[in-house]
Structure 1
Amino acid sequence: MNSLKKKVLAASLTAALSIPSLASASGPPQESLAPLRTIVQETGAAIAWNPKTHTATVTLGDVTIVVTQNSDQITVNGEALSLPRKAEMIGGKLMVHPSLLLEKLTAKKVEKESLKTADAFIEAIEKGQFDKAVRNFSPALLKVVDEKRMEGYWTALPQQMQAGALKHIGDAKLKSKNAVHTSVEIPLVFEKATVPLTVSLNRQGQIDDFSVLFLPPAQKIAEEPTYSKPDTFTEKEVIIGEGTFALPGTLTMPKGEGPFPAVILVQGSGPLDQDETAFALKPFRDLAHGLASQNIAVLRYNKRTFEHAAKTMFDPAHTVDKETTEDALHAVDLLAKTANIDTNQIYVLGHSQGGLMLPQILSKGADKPIAGGILLAGPARTLPDIMLDQFEYLASIGQLPKDHLELMKKQIELLKDPNFSGKNPPKEFTFGQPMFWDSIRNIKAADMAKEQTKPLLILQGERDYQVPAKTEFTLWKETLAHRDNVAYKLYPKLNHFFTEGEGQISNPEEYFNPANVPSYVIDDIAAWIHAR
């Protein structure tokens, strides 16, 4: 418990002990009140009392809270919120229930301290003081990133970004806050582009991760799908797993009487958030809200390589099971102990790389309550084979220079060499983390699923250039032809992210067009689950 909470709790207990008549007069004991000024002073906020209106105005940065005597209503930046009890004047002190005020004020204090820590971090880096830069790292981050690695990372960054020299560093601002991290964004202004550096702090205020993700932003993001019915479901923030790689997630629960079937969403390759945001698209948000609108609970979460980017990037022993399988099984464990979930109907849905890993998830989770799997654009062949087709297609439409294609071909040749070793990779291998590639390069999902017995639903977009339907969808059907509990659906208009487009095969530009997963995909998944 931090010092602020301890002092507020102490004040609450003191107030409760000093005015026993309140409890006896009102019958059952009520939650304790604490002096407003005590709460305010501990957060560094300012307070002003207006005797005419009997109101106290509390300000901290851009947060303004107004508390009115003998009222259980407060306003936070003009928004009316309710307290568990009325604010009361006792012994010349305005006494309030501390929970909501503590939440609002400490959130602002955490924001200020996070910005201060991030500023100190980037200032030390800018001055070349890398020993000072890592001083406020969490033990988990410091385990894989010491001052030498930090210096190497920063020195190589301009070349990796291919955006010219670093001109200056912009002002830090709060980016987001979830159940695991408070994230601060700092603009790095290069000659050719401005790239955001994200610094993530844990609950102890330590820098627990950082990342630079250089992707061209979409000008517009797909809006909430029309088939979503927000009044029929609720969303709650949850934590998947624990310890170093705990992940923030969202549980979308239908309203009404359960128990409800549930689906866990597992992303494709790369550092992806819980919505699987890809430029203008948010397919996992669409799936979550669409399925929840049809009485199916959905659990989605930030991928490990998104939430813990540096800790995974610098981990020499990082594997695909760490990246995908382990967290999917942690999600199963969470749903299995969640009220109102039908534990006989927990399904795992994997998209792209998540689909490739689905048979492995089912295998390693054989002792867990997984009822079946759903694959969206899941490769049947190995990932190197898929990638070779993908690179050749991009080169054919002018999206990949020929010299880059030749480089990629050489890297894939190295991966397909039976003697490739992640522990002792060839010097020419420059394609990322060797142990990761060694762990995934030989996985053939269709062959692995051949002897499995859990029911599967395999969905594929016919216009997908990343996981081509003509090879992958066909191979799934051929390999699993002997199984009678596998259903298939091919969608003529859909691309890799299951949004519609024109033309025989899609292209990367299509992902910049805001679009939703069509309702018929949601309907097909829901119908298959409800028929189990």
Structure 2
Amino acid sequence: MNRILIILLLSIFSMSLFSQDITGDWMGKVTINTMKLDVAFHIEKMADNYALTMDIPLQGLSGVKAESATLIDSILTISFPDLKLEYKGNLSENGEIIGSFMQRGNPIPLNLKKGTIKLNRPQEPKPPFSYYSEEITFMNVADTLKLAGTLTLPKKDGKFPVVIIVSGSGPQNRDGEMMGHKPYFLIADQLTRNGIGVLRFDERGVGASEGDFNTVTIAVSSSDVKSAVDYLKTRKEIDASKIGLIGHSIGGIVAPKVASETENISFLVLLAAPGVNGDILMLSQKAAIEKTMGLNEMQIAQGQELVKGAYDIIKNSKLDNTSLKDSINSFYSNKYGKMFPENQRKMLVAQITSFEVASLIQSKPSEYLEKIDVPVLAMNGDKDLQVPADENLMVIKNSLTKGSNDSVKIMKLENLNHLFQECKTGAMSEYSEIEQTFSPTALDVITSWIQEQTK
């Protein structure tokens, strides 16, 4: 009897320990159609449950926070409502998690084991670093929230010019991390090693920053960048007369907006920045991407018609997410009826009415560019499909000229995509496949130009 009781106690004890041992890094593969995707979870124990983030590098997803993650009777359940995605898996005796994603009722098998996804990113900076690096926080006083980032300086003591990196679309951390690439980290490393300080920070609701990214618009991002400028002006190591901005993609709209509304910015670097109005940009982007996917001219034209009416509604509306959704759902129901399947309609409406995308559709970058009188370097790759180089660089140049700004350098670089990687086609599917994070040529141009402005 005692022997049986001891065995039962040992079994219960080992099961209890085993069932709770899910913290750390997990990885697995899902197959969608014929495409295999690496998926990674990072799990941390909280008071009564777990905090979990997900990476799917080939889809450009990094650090996506789960709304909930629970482990009950060895069943792990993870919810990503924004992605309409749920994972459920059973913790097996051999230390693996056997389960599936569920998306709109469809199961996608995903078994997990301990480990991390390894991607070859040869440019990623590695310690020890020759410069000073400090984890910092600063307040957006108007919205009473704290933002977190990294300030790198050539030395701990001294007085240095500095740039703030203004990130692109989507929830971006301070490194601009996507698909294993960390372009903002690489830019910061390059500039700091060459005498220029850099502040890069997590966007709202990302990494260590407070707030909710789902409420972020171009105006909100501008407010956060202004708060970063105010913070830098309190640092004795910063030359307040030499604070610049590097804006990438949608950050290339935010940066000119900030520069046009404050006298604290002394130069701008615009990387793949929009020049045309947001609705025109989104239409040309859609057409360029669909062309690389093999769609014919008629199909592309039909796609343009499908979204243009919705963009027109957004352009003339207030940024009220619920009202916009109602208006655009009614528009599509009245125009297409059952020809536009409900699940596809809801997915499209959710995408284009998000605060960030809707504010992009409403944007008119030229209005900011015309008011800027500081030196500007505007660069783009000739294979950029997201912000096509010719039309956007031309509008940027014309807008700056209209504002009588004669300190402007416009550059179109050959064989570079939206992320400034050397590429073959510029297609988004290449982003993760390319080992290069950022063209060394482009890095050198940025560095030498900023050095010229701050000497």
TM-score (norm 1): 0.58
Name 1:150's counterpart in structure 2: none
The answer as to 2:318 corresponding to 1:396 is no
Counterparts of residues 194-213 of structure 1 (less than 5 Å): 194=110
Secondary structure of 1:356's partner? helix
Q: Structure 1 residue 117 and structure 2 residue 48: aligned? A: yes
* 1:495 alignment counterpart: 417
For residues 259-338 of structure 1, what are the structure 2 equivalents within 5 Å?
259-307=159-207, 312=212, 315=215, 318-322=216-220, 324-338=221-235
Which residue of the partner structure matches residue 15 of structure 2?
A: none
- Equivalence for 1:522: 443
Please state how far the C-alpha of 1:218 moved relative to its aligned partner.
Answer: 7.0
Is 1:370 the equivalent of 2:268?
no
Pick the structure with more strand per residue: 2
Question: Deviations 1:337-358 (Å, cap 9, x if unpaired)?
Answer: 1132111101011000000222
Match of 2:55 in 1: none
Letter in 2 for 1:419: N
Q: 1:347 to 1:381 in 2, by over 3 A?
A: same
How many corresponding residue pairs? 353
Matches of 1:313 and 1:499 in 2, distance apart?
27
Q: Which residue of 2 aligns with 1:6?
A: none
Alpha-carbon offset, residue 314 of structure 1: 5.9
Query: Would you say 1:348 and 2:270 are equivalent positions?
Result: no
Q: CA deviation at 1:427?
A: 4.3
Q: Are residues 188 and 512 of structure 1, via their aligned partners in 2, closer, same or farther at CA, if it must alter by over 3 Å? A: farther
Matches within 5 A, 1:22-101: none
In 2, the alpha carbon distance for the partners of 1:333 and 1:435 equals: 25
Paired position in structure 2 for 1:468: 388
> Which whole-Å deviations, capped at 9, do the CAs of 1:132-154 have from their partners, x for residues lacking one?
xxxxxxxxxxxxxxxxxxxxx95
Deviation of the 1:431 alpha carbon = 2.8
| Percent identity (aligned) | 24
1:260–1:297 Cα contact (<8 Å) kept: yes
Structure 2 Cα separation of the partners of residues 276 and 474 of structure 1: 27
Give the structure 1 partner of residue 430 of structure 2. Answer: 509
Equivalence for 1:66? none
Secondary structure of 2:396 counterpart:
helix
Q: Choose from 398, 416, 420 the match for 2:317.
A: 420
Shift of 1:272: 1.3
TM-score (structure 2 length as normaliser): 0.66
Question: Deviations for 1:276-303, whole angstroms, at most 9, x for unmatched residues?
Answer: 1121321111100000110100111112
Aligned to 1:160: 84
The 3 A distance-change label for structure 1 pair 392 and 439 is closer
Aligned mates of 2:305, 2:118 — CA distance in 1? 33
Deviation per residue, 1:64-117 (Å, 9 max, x gap): xxxxxxxxxxxxxxxxxxxxxxxxxxxxxxxxxxxxxxxxxxxxxxxx994343
Q: For 2:448 and 2:209, how far apart are their aligned partners in 1? A: 37
Separation in structure 1 between the aligned mates of residue 148 and residue 295 of structure 2, nearest angstrom: 35
Structure 1 vs Structure 2 CA RMSD: 3.9
Q: CA deviation at 1:271?
A: 1.0
Stretches of structure 1 that go unaligned for 5 or more consecutive residues are: 1-60, 62-111, 128-152, 172-185, 197-216
Q: Secondary structure at the match of 2:276?
A: coil
- Distance in 1 of aligned mates of 2:100 and 2:144: 31
Aligned pairs for 1:172-191 within 5 A: 189-190=100-101, 191=107
Q: Which has the higher contact order (CA 8 A, sep 6+)?
A: 2
SS of equivalent to 2:46: helix
Aligned-partner residue type, residue 477 of structure 1: K
